[in-house]
Amino acid sequence: MHNRFDQLVKQLARGGFSAGGHVETDAEASPDAQRIDLWFMPDSARAPRALAPLGLLGRMGRTACTLEAFHRTPVGDLVADCIARHRFFCRELHRRKPRPPMPTQWILCAGRPSTALTGLDLHRAPRSRGIYDAARLWRTRLVVVCELPRTRDTLLVRLMGAGKTLAQAIADLRALPPEAPEYRLALPILIRLRIEIPADPAKQTKSDREFLMTTQEVDKYLADIEERARTEGQKKGLAEGQKKGLAEGQKVGREEGERIGVARVLLDQLAAKLGPVPAKVRTRVGDASLAELTGWTRRVLTAASFDDVFGPAGRPRRSRRLPAAKTLRPAR
């Protein structure tokens, strides 16, 4: 998978499935180095609970499966190659001891591959808009992402689409509360992929530029998060400052609102660039001064670890901790 959209598909599927079983990317399908984009084997003890909140994506992972994704609408021959590669992969699995369960192949197409649907005799699945089935022995189902209904159930799979479909899915994601499982899974991935794109336009690929344009709604996410945090901080600062007088309370509110806003953005950046943020790091960010937060935010883009961000900065001053900091959580 070479472009940003392909990375998005792989990371969303891997992130969604990982809590429910074994996930392997770029699994070898045959001796001539053909590879499967993603292979998932659900754990019967973990999968039902872990996958239930994921809607259609979770149902795709109820049984062993593989994923192949096309950002550009594929011609019939490319889809046929996918099906043939899946057959090779199943033959490889048959030779393993113990033999793993044979997976169902899911082919995700951003647009409608008319020549593949006709030439491979794929039929629309009963009561399933946008999903097509191949003959039973092929163990293959094809999803036309742009045809899926615009519902929360299909949201994570629609995020694997392109163009208008992806833009609508991001807008739908933005409307969810921060604690929603789709929000927590997808937002850090989208932010991380945007951060990884070179800032210099001369170094950006066509795929990079297209991804930036299609996912620019993510920037509104961060602006909304910061504004909500600033408003929350101002309200708490005003309440805290009433004993000292209105003017001083307003000043405290503005300062605390700005500090909380920067802290929220920093936590988003850390999650996007470095992965899950440890509790001790969240506490440190919640305790930090505005100056410390600003300095750490500048380091995130070039950091390879949490130590690169916080190592040389020294410990935060505990005296700055306010009751509001206890409620600070990363917006995912």
Query: In which residue are the tokens 């935060």 written?
Result: 316
Secondary structure (3-state) at 104: strand
- Residue 292 is predicted with a pLDDT of 86
What is residue 127's DSSP assignment?
T
- What is the C-alpha to C-alpha distance for residues 330 and 114, in angstroms, rounded to an integer? 43
Angle between helix 181-196 and helix 246-274 axes, rounded to 10 deg: 80
Rounded Cα distance, 305 and 76, in Å:
44
Quote the pLDDT of residue 272: 72
- Given a contact cutoff of 8 angstroms between Cβ atoms, the answer to whether 155 and 173 are in contact is yes
Query: Taking residues 150-176, what's their average pLDDT?
Result: 94
Rounded CA-CA distance 114/172 in Å is 28
Peptide bond into 98 cis (omega under 30): yes
- Per-residue pLDDT, 236: 58
Name the residue with higher pLDDT: 224 or 240: 224
Counting every residue written for the chain, the total comes to 332
CB atoms within 10 A of CB 121: 11
Task: Give the Å distances, CA to CA, from 138 to 16, 94, 142, 203, 211.
Answer: 25, 15, 11, 42, 33
pLDDT at 291 over 90: no
CB contact at 8 A, 11 and 3: no
| Out of 72-81, 168-177, 195-204, least confident range | 195-204
For residue 331, is pLDDT > 50? Answer: no
pLDDT confidence of 320, banded at 50, 70, 90?
A: very low
In whole numbers, what is the pLDDT of the chain averaged over residues? 81
Q: What pLDDT, on a 0 to 100 scale, did the predictor assign at position 329? A: 42
The residues, any chain, with a CB within 8 Å of residue 167's CB and separated by 6 or more, are 214, 217
58-77 pLDDT per residue, tens? 999 999 999 999 988 999 99
Confidence band, pLDDT 50/70/90 cuts, at residue 249: very low
- The string of pLDDT tens digits covering residues 4-56 is 888 889 889 988 998 899 998 877 665 554 788 899 999 999 999 999 999 99
Query: Which pLDDT does position 2 carry in this prediction?
Result: 55
pTM, two decimals, is 0.69
